[in-house]
Each structure stands twice: as C-alpha cells, then as structure tokens.
Chain A
C-alpha cells in the first residue's frame, strides 16, 4: 500500500473526512454532555476572524501558526461570552449569539477588504472544499502526503491523546464539576483546554469542511452515540465509528449524486442520528414505545390480580370476582376487560370456574408483590 494508497484521491478524501470526524467526536462528546454544544457553533464561526488576522500578520494560510491563532480566537470567543454573561445584563444564550457574529463579521469584512483574491474567500470559509485536499501535498518519508490529511491527522492524534491521558479528569469534571473542583482538578482550566482544542481542530478541518459543516462533526455523532449508550468510553468509540461511516457513505453518495462531498458527509451524520433516535435499543422512539406498551400490560395484569386477591374468600367473592363484573368494578370498558382477562388466562395468572375467576399461585404472587412489597424476596 503506502505510496499508492496515499496518492489515491479517494483514499485521501475519505480519510480526511474520517479523521475530521474522529478528532471532532473526541471533543464533541464532552461538549454535548456538558450542555455546551452551541459553543462549538460560536467557535467555528469566530475563528474566521482568527484565520484572517493571523494571515494578515504573518502571511501564513495554514500550518501550526494558524492553528495556534485559531485556538486563541476560540478561547477569546469563550472568554468574551462568559464575560458578557457575567455582567448579568444579558442571559447566557444571548451572550453566545452576540459575540460570535461580531467576530465573524469583522473576519468577513477583513477578507473582503484585504484578501479578495487569495484562497480564503467567504465561500471556502463556510463550505470548505474536501474534494481538493489531495491536490496540495507535502513530502514525508519519501511519500507524497496530502497536507490537509497530515494536519488533521496530527490534530486527531492530539485529541485522542488528550482524552486518553485526561480521561478520569474529564469524566469527573463533566459529570460532577463541584467534586472535581474540590479534588483540585481545575475543571475550569480543563474546560478551556477542551474549547481551545475544539478551535484548533476547527481550523485544521477548515479547508476540508468549512466552518458550519464542522459543527455537524462536533455535535451530531456524539449526540447519536449518546442515544445509544450510557458508557462514556463507548460513546467516544461509537461517535468515532459514526464519523467514519458518515464520511465513507457521504463520499459514495456525493459522487453518485454529483454534489458537495463535505456537505454530504455532514448530512450523513444527521442520517445516523435520525436512525439512533428512532431505533436506539433503549432510548429510541420505538424501543421506548415498546417499553411503555409492556409496562401498560403489566399494570393491567396487576390491577386484575389485585382486584381478585382482595375479594378472594370474602363474602362477596361471587359478585366481585365474576367475569361480568370486571368492567364495572375496575372501570374498564367491555373490550378492555376482555383483553386483560384473556391475557391473564394466557399467562396463567387466573383460571375460570364457570362465571367465577380464581387466582392461580402465580397470580397471587403478582398481587402480593403490589400489596405486600415487604415480602418480596431480597435481591
């Protein structure tokens, strides 16, 4: 493989998309869990400002200087947003929506004034051009490697390393910031590191997918993973897997339909999210509907068992525990009474004795579980 594979545009494009996704999922997982997702929106818009300013100052259009500059811009955005919210003159959400448009606007105006004819035009800034990543290559160990692949690969490695090394700290400060602070883990610093890396990743992903589509890679795969699992490490793994699957399927579809590759990749993350939303094994719409149905059936069976149990052996047993009486006594209409009764017979909770209904041992156990919970066998 080696040289041949790296020369292949298809591989370069799909690998870039997948690496953007993995790098973004690592950080996005924590942003989604912390309820900070919209900060990635703010950051990815406002780094346009950072990119232009760094370009004006140093002439660098990409590379480490740009990444550091973008990280600084991202932190500036977060800092300004927090400072604005701290004045208590505007609410948190409004503060986000006030700061990033300003930085973004200044960035766009600077581009219009100074950078008309270079490659950072407004269009690239927004949409990126992942289809061309393989054109711009550098020499590495004798092989020609796409520049974008190298940058985003390095960024993905840094993010994976960050999450692996600080896994415990990130986990604690995400789920229990107060305890993290008490233990001296500096959750504030960690939060800034997370957001700084988000900005750096955004600029590394910029050429490929642009500012707005980057948000999809940060928020959507971790959100889909969040609907599929309760384990943090699994969420990171599933989020990355969805990113990879999105970039492969997005590439294929984009080629087939002749549309934007980056856009299609981002759209595919949305498709995976919808799938997780509908078919997730535990939190999916269908799974929850099935669980609700199951619970309702169990409740009805319990109600029947409890009713029969209460009147068992009593003076009015013949009237209360008669087939025809269920509707009136449990306030069920005829159809429902019949349905519940048939299910009770099926499950062996009750048996019929002419018009009279008798509980089986199993049925009595169901009633006791409700009426005498203290007799429930210890778990």
Chain B
C-alpha cells in the first residue's frame, strides 16, 4: 500500500479524488436536502457542450478552458431549467430531462465537429465521458484544489444563510435574506462540483457523486454540519478507492468504480445506520410484535381465569389458540421463560394446559390497566 501511494500517478489520482469527494459531498448535501438531486445529473450532462467549446476556443486540450466552458454551460443549463419551469407549464422533471438531453445533443454535435477537424489531441475529450483519472496532471490538480477550496470557503462564509434557505426558504425570505441569490449560488456551485468531477468520473456518472455521499451521510447524521462532514468523508473514501483501483488496474474507467464504491456505502448505510437502518428497524419491529402477542395471550389467560373465578385456572392450549386464531405454543413458551405462566397437567385431560403464575397475574393486571388508561 505504501509503495502504491508513493507512485506519482497514484498520488495525483488519489489527491484529485479527495478533492472531488470533498466538494461533491459538501454541495451534494445541500442538493439532496433541497430535493434537487437530479439537478446534478442534468448539469453534468449539460457540461459536455461547454467542454467542447472550451476545447475549440483554446485550440486544444487545456484544462482551464475546459473547466470554464463546463462551468458556463452548466450555469446556462441551470438557468434553462429555471426558465422552463417558471415560464411555462412544464414540470421540473420534464425541464430537467429536456435540458439534459438537448445540451448533451449539442455536446455530441460539437464533439463530432471537433473530430471531423482531425485534431490529434481529441482523445483527451473522450475521457470526459467516463473519466480517466490516470490522465490527470499536476497542473490540473492545482485548479481542482483551488475550485474546491473556493467552494468550501463560500459555504463556510455563508453557512447560516445556506442552512436557512435549505430548511425554511419562506422564513429566510421574511428575514430579508436574498433567497433567490442564495439558491442560485448553491446551484452554480453544483456546477463547480461537476467541473471538478469531470476528469475523475466523467459527465455521465457525476450525478451519483452528487447524490450518493449525501444520501449515505443522511442516514446517520442529525445535524447539517455533521452531514456535510460525513458526506465529504464518504466522498473522499469512495473517490480514492475507485481512483486508485482504476489507476493500478486494467485500465478500467474511473467513474464506474468510484460510483460503485459510493453506492455500496449508501446501501450499507441504509441497511445498518444506527437507529435508522432497515435491519435495526426490522429487528425492533419483530421484538415489538412479539411483545404485543405476549401481552395479548397473557390477557386472554387472565380473562379466562377471571371468568372462572380462579386465579390459577388451567387454560387449555387449544382454547387459547382458537381465541387468537394461530398457534400460541411459542408465545406461551416465551411467557413461561419470563416466569409469567407455567405448563400444568389438568387430569384427566392429556392436552397441554397453562396457568398464570402470581407474577403473570400482576403483569396481566398492569397490561389491562394500561390499556384501559389509554382508552380513557
């Protein structure tokens, strides 16, 4: 591992992935909370024409020009979505789909235009579709790092404002905050994240980098600050994992590997997040329904006893079954283990019988009192 990290390319790639993870995790958090997850998808597809125009204007593969182009067309796409939803009766989903596909089509047209020109360095452009981390240069890293730092600084400076706009835009407006400007800032910054991710995961899969780290972090975070930090960490972890694997492996594209790593973390978080995970809530539900059934059976035994004026009335298991419409053997055994009932023989019958213990009697009274109390 140490040997791997001392490799020049691998170190570059890991650093780039860390930048990407940080910025997409932080900004993705806001996007996901504001229910704008798919905006990242639209903006990243929409970056393609900008990349091509940057390429044409710079006369070759220049990372700076590419980034500026991608940022410009991403911002334009965000504006297009806004204009379509505000200015017509199209809904958000249609506006996103239109922007995504038409901008991408424009990108494809420009891409073929560049290829028709026979430019020798066009190969660099294809890598923006799926990402090719190994092609990252040291100079690219400076730009990626600068963009990331800039975005982080802006988030830190406007932390309170962004938080309010995310959770309660109406309240933010009544406080006199420039809500529209803040929302535009958050949206344009997603375009920034896309720009950083171009080299790493490519335009197609950038959507997942905006959504996945934030979705995973949401599972165990209780505060915005915690969520932003966890999302950045998840982003860094999956970014570095995927990028290093791609740089050392058999030339697999980086994007898919990073996305699979991040998605695995999401799945694990949804299943196992403390308190919120599906596995825990399944176990909790099972324990609860078991407890409820136990109480119901206990109450039945109590009522049978009460109606026979005999606290130690031996109730036949079959009778109890027919009260509940199911086999109660396991429930009764469970109650017996807790010392609330005990199996007895009621001669001359040979079928199993159960009676309440004094502890069971008290427990049943308590359950019934609680139930009556709830009803009152």
Contact = CB atoms under 8 A, between A and B. Distances in A.
Interface of A: 32, 35-38, 40-41, 45, 84, 87, 89-91, 93-94, 96-98, 101-102, 104-106, 108-109, 112-113, 122-123, 126-127, 212-213, 215-216, 218-220, 223, 226-227, 254, 257-260, 262-267, 269-270, 273, 277, 283, 285
Interface in B271-327: 276, 278
Nearest to B31: A94
B186 interface: no
Contact of A90 (B100, B205, B270): B270
A9 B111 CA distance: 23
Interface in B88-133: 88-91, 93-94, 96-98, 100-102, 104-113, 116, 126, 129-130
A196 to B, nearest CB: 19
Nearest to B39: A93
The 3 closest A-B pairs by CB, nearest first: A270-B102, A263-B108, A105-B256
B208 A101 contact: yes
Interface residues of B, number: 60
Nearest to A38: B93
Contact of B41 (A41, A91, A106, A264): A41
A77 to B, nearest CB: 14
Nearest to B277: A89
**Dominant SS at the A interface?**
helix
A259 B38 contact: no
B278 A98 contact: no
A29 to B, nearest CB: 11
A32 B132 CA distance: 35
Given A109-B256, A216-B102, A218-B97, 15 more contacts: A94-B211, A97-B37, A97-B41, A102-B259, A105-B208, A113-B250, A216-B104, A219-B101, A220-B102, A226-B94, A260-B108, A266-B104, A267-B105, A267-B109, A269-B105
B215 interface: yes
B88 A270 contact: no
Contact of A122 (B38, B45, B87, B130): B130
Contact of B215 (A90, A254, A285): A90
Contact of B205 (A91, A104, A113): A104
A53 to B, nearest CB: 15
29 contacts: A37-B94, A37-B97, A38-B93, A38-B97, A97-B38, A97-B40, A98-B208, A101-B212, A105-B255, A105-B263, A108-B256, A109-B256, A112-B250, A113-B250, A123-B126, A212-B45, A212-B105, A213-B104, A215-B100, A216-B98, A219-B98, A220-B101, A223-B98, A258-B116, A260-B108, A263-B105, A265-B105, A273-B102, A277-B88
Contacts, number: 196
B129 A41 contact: no
Contacts of B332: none
Contact of A227 (B88, B205, B215, B252): B88
A259 B109 contact: yes
Given A45-B204, A104-B204, A213-B108, A93 B38 contact: yes
B219 to A, nearest CB: 6
Nearest to B260: A105
B331 to A, nearest CB: 29
Nearest to A84: B270
B18 to A, nearest CB: 20
Contacts of B90: 32, 223, 226-227
Interface string B34-63: 011110110001000000000000000000
Interface of B: 32, 35-38, 40-41, 45, 84, 87-91, 93-94, 96-98, 100-102, 104-113, 116, 126, 129-130, 204-205, 207-208, 210-212, 215, 218-219, 250-253, 255-257, 259-260, 263, 266, 270, 276, 278
Contact of A97 (B207, B250, B257): B207
B253 A112 contact: yes
B28 to A, nearest CB: 10
Nearest to A219: B97
A262 B88 CA distance: 27
Contacts of B251: 112
Nearest to B84: A277
Contacts of B263: 98, 101-102, 105
A262 B108 contact: yes
B95 to A, nearest CB: 8
A110 to B, nearest CB: 10
Given A98-B208, A108-B256, A112-B251, A93 B109 contact: no
Nearest to A215: B101
B130 A108 contact: yes
A236 to B, nearest CB: 16
B204 A260 contact: no
Contacts of A218: 97
Contact of A269 (B102, B129, B253, B257): B102
Contacts of B257: 105, 109
Contact of A257 (B100, B113, B252): B113
A267 B250 CA distance: 36
A218 B93 CA distance: 13
A98 B270 CA distance: 12
Given A98-B215, A215-B100, A266-B101, A112 B208 contact: no
A75 B312 CA distance: 59
Contacts of A285: 87-88
A87 B278 contact: yes
A224 to B, nearest CB: 9
Nearest to B273: A89
B46 to A, nearest CB: 11
A38 B42 CA distance: 10
